[in-house]
Amino acid sequence: MNDSNHPKSLLARALPPLVIAIVPLAAFLAFVLLPMMGKRLLPIYGGTSGIWVGCMVYFQLTLLLGYSWAAWLARKSALFQLTATVILAALAVLTFHLPSDPANAAASTLGVVARLSLASLPAMVLLFSASPLLQGWLRQTGGEVPYYVHAIASAASLIALLLYPFVIETNLGLSDQGFYWQGFLVIIAALIGTAAYLVKTGSAGSNAAPASGPAEVLEPGSIILWLWLSALTCAGMLGATYHVTAEIGANPIAWVGPFGLYVLGFLVTFSGRWQRWMTLVAIVFLTISLTGFMVVKGFTSATVNGGTAWCLYLLTACGSLVGNALLHSTRPAQRVDRFYLVLAAGGLLGGLVSGLILPQFFSRPVEFELISVALLVTGIIWLAPRREPGTAVVIACALVIPVLGLGIHQIRRESTENVSIRHTRDLNGHIFVETSRRSVVLSSETTKVASQLTMDAASRRRPTLYFTESSGLGRVMERFQAARLAMNVGVVGSNGGTLAAYSRAGDRYDFWDTDPKSIRVARENFKFVADAAGRVNLAPQDGRRALEDSKTDYDLLVIDALTRDGFPPHLLTAEAMNVYLRRLAARNGLLVVHASSRYSRFYPMVEATARSLGLAAIDVKTDIKGDVIEPGKERDWDPTSTEYIVIGKPEQTKEIPTWFLDEEDKGRVRHLVTTGDSQLGNAQLVWTDDRNAALETLDLGRFLFQ
């Protein structure tokens, strides 16, 4: 009899190629879905933090469910495994869809998770269960636990993270992405069903559960260690991502670095070539990178770009390597299903702690540094010859005390006797208010977003910072006020309510902001709203959604919603501009976009999008010399360089460039006005709800190498 025709032999020959095909494709599809779904939900819910937190929780939850499904299924008979796998694959293909129906409520974490579950839960469970399930089936062909499969999945995940912002997002709209994604899902469902059939055939028709020897005993200490390390590495990655998004906004490019390094740690340590000495080297570099990051950033509000960004990425990479190296060194010989299940539970725990719990306990984002310390402590304790409680306490104190001491010293250096600083943090992020005898300043992470002079009643009523009289917006306000006795002004973004300083009796100013604490600060810490001559309303709502529901007509709509250095894309798409135009049409109004940015260039994209709607866009950059407060001046108190984009019908905007001279006040004020031309009118740059890409506005090289 030819053994090559035996079912077991057929299984041994056919299953490995299927594994090599299925595992990377499944990982790739799973990691592409997260940004795809997040972008789809933005125009539905508005740009609230609940979307991104909900997507993160959903991702970790489905990972846990996928591993749980694989662990449960592995204990069943081959026939049951085949039947259950085919049913799940069919459900995954038939139920997957991209959400499209409008939301009836604001985005909450639970609501986003529920909506994503209806759209893709069977598909995500199928994808995440593929790697552990196939590893279990491979073991039935003989040999050791094939941990290299996990490395293959990590490599595919890393490729997905890199391709999405740089290739997929820039070339395909969401509808096309969903079409291709579902097509590949059909392929992978068929492949997994084929693999399950081979396992059934290889079991020689037996309906009994797979035979096994004595189960490997898992010590409670090992399970706790796996949970601890998995939670730490996940929370550390999310902490690093928080710092990057604080600079360039919440977009797929911001996730590439930290998430990619997190996945790279799995890839390298579970490749089968990791050695003990490599763990020692990783711990040394973790110590060095932690020291470097504490010196250049630490607990302060220092900008994370250039060298500081590279310190952050190095620290993230070292933390991931140390955490995953320790996981690899303590992996079980047989119980791979239980091992991956604990890792998934730890990832979910780390995500929940980082996204939902820590913001309630720390008024400023310090968890990334503290988690790095915890990983370093764990690594040194694990390598120490004596792992007694006393040894652990001594090592922890030796590492934690210097880091905390340096951090506290940095915090105290930020404060002065004449300045009071109050930090506030929630799921929407971190802000702080500096109050002195001369001014109140509001900052979001590393960016000053509003200020008010408080020396006397006259100075308190002056628009400041990005909103001074000589800025692009200030000049538009000046012209409109000269021509209109009363105005309705809508502002997306509160920023201390500074624009209320322009209000006159009879004017109406409506502010919308998705961050409730920013509205609270505008009411309690700044006096622009309280001192306003006109009627001012502040609402905790997404501006685009508010304008979709509004019946009010406006003279001016101001989009002042820069989140760090990026825009929530749903506020600048063609569909969003159509919403704004409907509210501006009756009063022949203008749309003004605040585009002051360190690393992004919004005008080419905004101009192309406006042109696609038959509109004209004019870019106005203003540089005002001097930021010293001079009580004798009539204009531009506490100014800064600004960029505004003014959008309207061509006949409306024709005269706008004449409002700005190249130089004013003996060169104190300089304007650079750019109007659209054929070179800028690139159809590829038109943003819609279906297609928009952060890479088209972000200067990544400037962020990394400035």
What is the residue-wise DSSP string for 588-657? T-EEEEE---SSB--HHHHHHHHHHTT-EEEEEEEEE------TT-SS-EEE--EEEEEEE-HHHHTTGG
List, in sequence order, the alpha helices (H) in 415-471. Answer: 457-460
Pairwise CA distance, residues 345 & 64, whole Å = 6
Q: Do the Cβ atoms of 639 and 465 come closer than 8 Å?
A: yes
Q: Do the Cβ atoms of 254 and 238 come closer than 8 Å?
A: no
Pairwise CA distance, residues 311 & 327, whole Å = 24
3-state secondary structure of 506: coil
Kindly calculate the radius of gyration of the chain based on its CA atoms and give it in whole angstroms: 28
Q: What is the pLDDT of residue 209?
A: 47
Pairwise CA distance, residues 236 & 655, whole Å = 52
Phi, psi of 51 (to 5 degrees): -65, -55
CA atoms within 13 A on the CB side of 421: 17
Tokens of 117: 């579950």
Residues in the chain with pLDDT < 50? 1, 205-211, 678, 680
Q: Closest Cα to residue 577, out of 704, 460, 688, 659? A: 688
Q: Do the Cβ atoms of 532 and 501 come closer than 8 Å?
A: yes
Tokens of 597: 């940015």
Q: Distances in Å between the alpha carbon of 381 and those of 162, 219, 299, 343?
A: 35, 18, 25, 21
Q: What is the pLDDT of residue 587?
A: 94
Q: CB within 8 A of 50, min separation 6: which ones? A: 106, 107, 108, 109, 111, 112, 427
Tokens of 274: 């990791």
Rounded to a whole number of angstroms, the distance between the first and last alpha carbons of the chain is 71
Pairwise CA distance, residues 617 & 686, whole Å = 13
Domains in the chain, CATH or no CATH each:
1-208 (1.20.1250), 219-414 (1.20.1250), 466-705 (3.40.50.150)
C-alpha of 121 from chain center: 21
C-alpha of 374 from chain center: 24
3-state secondary structure of 537: strand
Pairwise CA distance, residues 21 & 188, whole Å = 9
Q: Closest Cα to residue 21, out of 190, 265, 268? A: 190
Tokens of 540: 């905790």
Q: What is the pLDDT of residue 203?
A: 65
Q: Distances in Å between the alpha carbon of 547 and those of 267, 562, 576?
A: 47, 18, 9
Q: What is the pLDDT of residue 316?
A: 95
C-alpha of 177 from chain center: 20
Q: Do the Cβ atoms of 618 and 645 come closer than 8 Å?
A: yes
Please write the tens of the pLDDT for every residue from 14-60: 777 888 889 899 999 999 998 898 888 877 776 666 677 788 888 88
Q: What is the pLDDT of residue 594?
A: 94
Q: Do the Cβ atoms of 96 and 150 come closer than 8 Å?
A: no
Q: Closest Cα to residue 228, out of 336, 353, 133? A: 353
Q: Note the pTM of the prediction, 2 decimals.
A: 0.88
Q: Closest Cα to residue 491, out of 475, 504, 473? A: 473
Pairwise CA distance, residues 682 & 705, whole Å = 27
